[in-house]
Structure 1
Amino acid sequence: MTEDSTRRFDETSGADPQDTTEVDLNRTQEIGPAPGQAPLLPPQEPAAPTWWTEASEPAAAQAASPAQGGHTAYGPHASTATPNPYAVSSPAASSTSRGGPGWPGVFLIAGLAALLAGLGGGLLGGWVGSTDRFDGLDLSRGSDDGSAPEPGAGATERPEGSVANIAANATPSVVTIRVEATGGDGTGSGWVLDDKGHVVTNNHVVSSAASGGEITVVLSNGKQSKATIVGRDVSYDLAVLKVQRTDLTPLPLGDSSTVVVGDPVIAVGAPLGLESTVTTGIVSALNRPVTPGEASDQSFINAIQTDAAINPGNSGGPLLDMKGRVIGINTAIARVAGSTIGGQSGNIGVGFAIPSAQVKITVDQLIRTGKAEHPVIGVILDRTYQGEGVKIGADTDETPAVTPGGPADKAGLEAGDVITAFEGRPMGNPDALVVAIRSKPVGSTVSLTVVRDGKPRDVKMVLQGRSD
């Protein structure tokens, strides 16, 4: 077994080599199913899926090994390894990804015209920037001073609970986030958490400015405020910003655990830099294991799937229920492998959001300590295993497959055991198990079905926490 064939469970970052779909989110990310399977995490196929990150897009992309899920590094390069159709990448905004002339002043009018013409077909010209930003729009208008935005006319002119009424009340609390940094410029979305100036967004939207750069929050009325990062977490793809304003209206946080498939939802954000954009749809599926990003910036999301139109730039924006409550944060989209034109991709009706239950836990931790704690069970998973369930790897001279004293060890798990279910849900690949575990709070008691020597048994364990 090669060194890369197994990875410690709580550090797993690769996607299942058997997956065959791709996700690209703004991270609007893309995902696709393996043959004969429903799309969960995007495996790639030799000639197809392309991965994008939200930070700047390096000029060269590195191909990952099949053991790591076949993700390509940064940029529009198809992986040479077997694609993971369910893997999601964060569309990092980057100046290096621009595909057209560098005369913004000259092409602004032409660019806007092209945008209007292209909206009908869902495509933008090659001069548009990376997947998570639209350089053709000027977001610099407005100033740091001025009153907070007010609800639109629909708040009073349309029935309570209608899409128009909810959108009119929600848009003043949804912001556009502009990032300028050496690691890449771009735009994303976010929303007001409280009356203390905290704004929630995706980590991949602001990660390029984590080591230096400028983050600007643009309100729906065009007013701007400089923002600082309070805390961010790669694993959950969440970040909290702080602006020096206390007059903004927070959005109420809903309970994603009560959501069911078929519930109507509303997505609000700034796709392609078009702020205060509202789209509608339904909850298409729940508990979709989505793993956007690569290696050091990979996220593990037990996602809500929706057909509400989500495009690059929507990342970090809220997914609302019909009471105007945040039930998720839009973070990725799926795309058909090889479907991009000019390095761009857009909505095909398969989008993913981080459930509000996870958002609440992680955001509270980020505000209190600046970092998040991740639940682990302490095992090494064998990513070369092709059978049913997820197999614990073999012991090596340097590292035991089951961490001594960890949750799995205390529950009696051993090298070679196969985990077939977590909390009653079948586990088909390592990423699905990682995502399922990371969706639980640290300290939770969970049940697993484990097969040893052909005999299944149920075990319980208490999840331990670890900060990356």
Structure 2
Amino acid sequence: MPRTCTFLPALVCAVLLGVTGCTATGGDDADAPAQVQGGTDSGGGTTGSGTGQDLGIPEIVEAVQPSVVTIFTGEGLGSGVIYTEDGLILTNEHVIRGNEDVEVAFADGQRVSGTVEAADTVTDLALVQAERTDLPAATFRSDLPRIGDLTVVIGSPLGFENTATSGIVSGLHREIPGSAATSQSLVDLIQTDAAISPGNSGGAVVNGQGEIMGISEAYIPPSQGAVALGFAIPAAIATEVAEELRADGTADHAFMGLVPGPITPEIAAQLDLGDTRGAVVLSVSQGGPADDAGIRPGDIITKIGDQEIATAEDLLSALRQYDPGQTVPVEIQRGADTQSVDVTLADRPPEP
């Protein structure tokens, strides 16, 4: 049987497409949008799906649907977006997790074999090479949308291929509470009220000009009291990671060498803290950047660079702004004392 979604504890209150391996059964200036073409074949460029003009929803679907695919594995299915005209597909890592070979179905009904080329668990992104060329590569928008902008989600929710739903951008820079304990992919996301369901994973979240603004990532189900809460990886992050994966099969991520956690009321009482804002250091990697800077378990991180840290997810989001090798000031609270230490970030070690 194909996999179905599972739930995380109530602290997270979400079915996380990017954490559980959840698959389905069976903009600032609309007149001059910043765009990033999907990577091109060495033989030439692509036309992409973006138009640069506001379109109606039927026209958006008609323009972008040929650039969205369904990815079948032995465990279930997910969605993907055509990244290059020579058959490179961008999707979620959890869609293809545990597989080297998949099947890719296109909007015109053709199915071909696909090979997993590279994957990044930190951002939950992956590249699949489909055995087909001369494809309509999507156009990706490099800047963030505005709250209230139109969104159209295209993918294969619950196995219904070539499905479109619509809504608006509901929020930016969202983190799913509690996700730091299980995944680093659920921070700095675009929030939308357009319906996202299992099977949409890795599919397109599109703006009113037919450009990819994000890659479908997660949703919070109605059973948790939510009404239309979906989340997407911003296109700028997706394309940056995709280009790194194309270059050498890996993506670089700043590594601090510690495990952050939420400050629960119990931890606040134990450490005699006045409030629960910040991220508590649960453990420190021996010889890692945090250890070298003198950070200890039990310290409370309240600021990285100029960014205030209110939650563990804030810390992970803040690290996204830095590259390995950079030195960043980190403000910590230890007992009644507050101090700043300089942490030289490292490259994240490979998964064991």
TM-score (norm 1): 0.59
Read off the aligned partner of 1:389 and give its amino acid letter: G
Contact 2:3 2:23 in 1 (8 A): no
Residues 31-110 of structure 1 mapped to structure 2, 5 A cutoff: 56=3, 76=6, 83-85=11-13, 88-90=16-18
Give the equivalent residue in structure 1 for 2:210. Answer: 324
Contact 2:95 2:202 in 1 (8 A): yes
CA displacement at 1:261 relative to structure 2: 2.1
Deviation digits for residues 205-253 of structure 1, max 9, x if unmatched?
111424xxx4111111101111000011222111100012220011112
Structure 2 Cα separation of the partners of residues 177 and 234 of structure 1: 18
Residues 257-276 of structure 1 mapped to structure 2, 5 A cutoff: 258-276=144-162
Structure 2 Cα separation of the partners of residues 196 and 368 of structure 1: 16
Contact 1:87 1:290 in 2 (8 A): no
1:194 paired to 2:84: yes
Deviation digits for residues 138-189 of structure 1, max 9, x if unmatched?
xxxxxxxxxxxx999xx99xx8533332221111111111112xxx2x1211
* Structure with greater strand percent: 2
1:88 is paired with a residue whose SS is: coil
Give the equivalent residue in structure 1 for 2:35. Answer: none
CA displacement at 1:367 relative to structure 2: 1.8
Give the equivalent residue in structure 1 for 2:59. Answer: 165
Read off the aligned partner of 2:206 and give its amino acid letter: L
Read off the aligned partner of 1:290 and give its amino acid letter: I
Deviation digits for residues 413-432 of structure 1, max 9, x if unmatched?
45543212345444333243
Contact 1:302 1:436 in 2 (8 A): no
Give the equivalent residue in structure 1 for 2:256. Answer: 377
Structure 2 Cα separation of the partners of residues 336 and 226 of structure 1: 36
Structure 2 Cα separation of the partners of residues 151 and 434 of structure 1: 32
Residues 446-457 of structure 1 mapped to structure 2, 5 A cutoff: 446-456=328-338
Contact 2:14 2:221 in 1 (8 A): no
TM-score (norm 2): 0.76
CA displacement at 1:406 relative to structure 2: 1.4
CA displacement at 1:443 relative to structure 2: 4.3
1:367 paired to 2:256: no
Structure 2 Cα separation of the partners of residues 77 and 311 of structure 1: 14
Taking every aligned residue pair, what percent have the same amino acid on both sides? 29
Cα gap change, 1:446 to 1:318, in 2 (>3 Å): farther
Cα gap change, 1:421 to 1:246, in 2 (>3 Å): same
- The structure 2 residue matched to 1:253, chosen from 140, 144, 147, is 140
Contact 2:17 2:201 in 1 (8 A): no
Contact 2:11 2:177 in 1 (8 A): no
After superposition, the CA RMSD in angstroms is: 3.6
Read off the aligned partner of 1:303 and give its amino acid letter: L
Deviation digits for residues 49-89 of structure 1, max 9, x if unmatched?
xxxxx9846xxxxxxxxxxxxxxxxx65785xx64336735
1:167 is paired with a residue whose SS is: helix
- Give the total of aligned pairs: 319
Structure 2 Cα separation of the partners of residues 453 and 402 of structure 1: 21
2:231 is paired with a residue whose SS is: strand
Cα gap change, 1:226 to 1:301, in 2 (>3 Å): farther
1:205 is paired with a residue whose SS is: helix
Structure number, greater radius of gyration: 1
1:236 is paired with a residue whose SS is: coil
Unpaired runs of at least 5, structure 2: 27-46, 269-275
Give the equivalent residue in structure 1 for 2:102. Answer: 215
Contact 1:330 1:354 in 2 (8 A): yes
- The structure 2 residue matched to 1:282, chosen from 168, 191, 206, is 168
1:177 paired to 2:71: yes
**Which range is displaced more, 456-465 or 353-362?**
456-465
Read off the aligned partner of 2:215 and give its amino acid letter: I
Read off the aligned partner of 1:313 and give its amino acid letter: G
